[in-house]
Amino acid sequence: MNSGKRITNVIIGVVMLLMGAVLILVPSEGLPFVALILSVSLVVYGVRMLVYYVTMARHMVGGRLMLYIAVIVLDFGVFVWTLSDIPKIYIVLYMVAIHAFSGAIDIMRGIEAKRYHASSWKLSFISGVVNIAVAILSIVFIRSVNVIVILYALGLIYSAITRIISAFRRTAIVYIR
């Protein structure tokens, strides 16, 4: 990871910490803010994937898959953006689905990294377990919007901390002579 990417990850981590703190301080008004965070992050990720497809992935084998992923993520982001006027249970269920999916992906990445004897498998695996735990606890407390917003804020703070930690982690560099 180069220094520009490290600085970007630290800045994103600090912004995520601030958002998590705001959500913990005002949980009663937090669900629309959670929907806004989810939608903006999905739209930004979808646009990044779309730009990646246009610049590089269209020339790669399997690059069309990147286009499909970008369009689907972009659609999900716009869909969450439109959910602000409907009952809050749908936003909660959408948040649960995103956390469960993200947790499953992180756990699989951690298991794969362990298989290849990578040193960072624990962080990825624990991140996946935390995402799954947030999803399960959100289902348990589905009637209490304040508890769900606080759970999301704690998950956001944990994600910010892991992002900052990974920004300061040394990366292996392969030199070819």
Question: Tens digit of pLDDT for each residue in 104-120?
Answer: 998 998 999 888 888 77
Mean pLDDT on 17-43? 84
Distances (CA, A) of 125 to 9, 96, 98, 114, 162: 20, 18, 17, 9, 12
Rounded Cα distance, 97 and 103, in Å: 10
Residue 51 is predicted with a pLDDT of 92
Token readout for 15 is 């912004």
Mean pLDDT on 98-107? 88
Q: Are 38 and 102 in contact (CB under 8 A)?
A: no
pTM score: 0.74
Rounded Cα distance, 108 and 1, in Å: 22
Q: Which residues contact 16 (CB under 8 A, 6 or more apart)?
A: 156, 157, 159, 160, 163
Residue 18 is predicted with a pLDDT of 92
